[in-house]
Structure 1
Amino acid sequence: MTSAPPSADMPSAAIEAVMREQALAVGYAPAAAREGFAALLDLDHQLAGILRTTSEPMIGQMRLTWWHEALEELDHEPAPAHPVLQRLAASVLPVGVRGGDLAPMVEGWEVLLDDGEPLDDERIARHAEARGGVLFARVAQLLGEGAQWTPLGTAWARADLAGHLSDKAMAGRAGGVAASELDRLLARKPAKGARGLTGLAILARESLRHPDRLPGHPLRAVRLAWHGLTGR
């Protein structure tokens, strides 16, 4: 295996608030799936951190390539001494999720690397499908659910990205598409076991509806708790 990539910076207060909210959502998943659910979110944060902390696209590409190879190698090699990879090997792979099944998440983040071309709707769609669609599909696998959660993951990732785009017109389009999809996909009451997963989507929709309520706002926690209890 290639040498380990540089460590990402410690999370900022804003990132820590997001992680605490996500931990609350994970708490609504069945106990047997929580460790794997959290490990998959750890992977997503690790990949996001590469883009957040790398100013040179070539360096970012090298770091993402390392992760793509490392995930695929989990299928035939012991996990290296990296806490995220070890956590995935311990709690996700035993359920039947392959490292190669997770590698497309890396490709979703690669789409956002600055290659001199403007970010457009097609690239946003590719990011959302490869990042969120794959993440939600793999969490659903841990929960014993089917592939019906993939579109919700795509909408979740699109909503999250919309909140971080500096181009207001692009952010508005991405957010509008995500809001419509989240409303449609969350209209049906989910089974209790899936409410950790749908809770993430509820938080994403709250960010679109109430952009002034940042992660950690008490009303977001109340909304998530209500969803966890009622499915609404």
Structure 2
Amino acid sequence: MTPIDDPERVLAMSYAPRDRRAGLAALFALDATLGQVLRTTREPMVGQMRLAWWREALVRLDSAPPPAEPVLQALARDVLPLGPSGEALAAMTDGWEVLLGAIDNGSIADHGRLRGAVLFEQAGMLLQAQVDPLADAGQGWALADLAAHLSDPQLAAHARDAAAPLLAKASEHRWGRAGHSLGALTHIARMDLAGPATPRRVARLAWHRMTGR
């Protein structure tokens, strides 16, 4: 999946209000950590056990201090005080778990909904950007990211085809200033679907930062 230190992602994150950037980074660090479970697990049952640990740990954040785990500590410190809940974030584990078995069109759709939509909706709450098209943008973002990493060309094409209309719809929206970072990630995902990187991509992101479009 897209590295959290990818230059375009770092640029998009910088569009968030300064006092919310740490929380936004923590949310995407959680997503990257859950993705790492899949990349480092050969046996589906082991992967399910590891994701179950994360699910329980996230739910527990709502009622107990975090354990000595950096991502959980960052979520407890920088995210939960601003509105999102551990229980809501725990749904992201289901979005990754559906990829542990045989991947089909249904599991691809579930991944977009449970990973992407949940991540963007909780990020929108953190940023106070709930008026923006978070579910469509998040699903499209996750599906575009997944498409780039699927080895089966038919499944990858299906993920791209599912992502495209969601990203197009979200990109037509004028994003509020608080949500510019998520809007920028939406544009990045849409440009990824369009083809190889070009210097014009940075100019496109700068235009979004100025206009919300």
TM-score (norm 1): 0.85
Alignment pair present for 1:178 and 2:163? yes
1:102 pairs, out of 89, 97, 100, with 89
Asked whether the equivalents of residues 91 and 114 of structure 2 are also in contact (C-alpha less than 8 Å), the reply is yes
Structure-1 residue corresponding to 2:151: 166
Structure-2 residue corresponding to 1:23: 10
Asked whether the equivalents of residues 23 and 38 of structure 1 are also in contact (C-alpha less than 8 Å), the reply is no
Deviation at 1:200, TM superposition (A): 0.8
Stretches of 4+ moved more than 4 A in 1?
none
Asked whether the equivalents of residues 128 and 178 of structure 2 are also in contact (C-alpha less than 8 Å), the reply is no
Counterparts of 1:15 and 1:184, CA distance in 2: 25
Structure-1 residue corresponding to 2:180: 195
Alignment pair present for 1:140 and 2:124? yes
Kindly provide the amino acid, as one letter, of the partner of residue 78 in structure 1. P
Deviation at 1:49, TM superposition (A): 0.6
Deviates more, 1:182-191 or 1:99-108: 182-191
1:122 pairs, out of 106, 112, 115, with 106
1:77-109 deviation per Cα after TM superposition (whole angstroms, max 9, x unaligned): 111111100000001111121111100000100
Asked whether the equivalents of residues 140 and 146 of structure 1 are also in contact (C-alpha less than 8 Å), the reply is yes
Structure-2 residue corresponding to 1:75: 62
Structure-1 residue corresponding to 2:41: 54
Deviation at 1:72, TM superposition (A): 0.6
Structure-2 residue corresponding to 1:112: 99
Classify the secondary structure of the residue corresponding to 1:103. Answer: helix
Kindly provide the amino acid, as one letter, of the partner of residue 166 in structure 1. S
TM-score (norm 2): 0.92
Kindly provide the amino acid, as one letter, of the partner of residue 162 in structure 1. A
Matched length: 212
Asked whether the equivalents of residues 58 and 90 of structure 2 are also in contact (C-alpha less than 8 Å), the reply is yes
1:163-211 deviation per Cα after TM superposition (whole angstroms, max 9, x unaligned): 111111221122022112211221122122211011111111111001x
Deviation at 1:30, TM superposition (A): 1.2
Structure 1: gaps of 5 or more residues: 1-10
Kindly provide the amino acid, as one letter, of the partner of residue 125 in structure 2. Q
Identity %: 46
Asked whether the equivalents of residues 199 and 228 of structure 1 are also in contact (C-alpha less than 8 Å), the reply is yes
Deviation at 1:22, TM superposition (A): 1.9
Structure 2: gaps of 5 or more residues: none
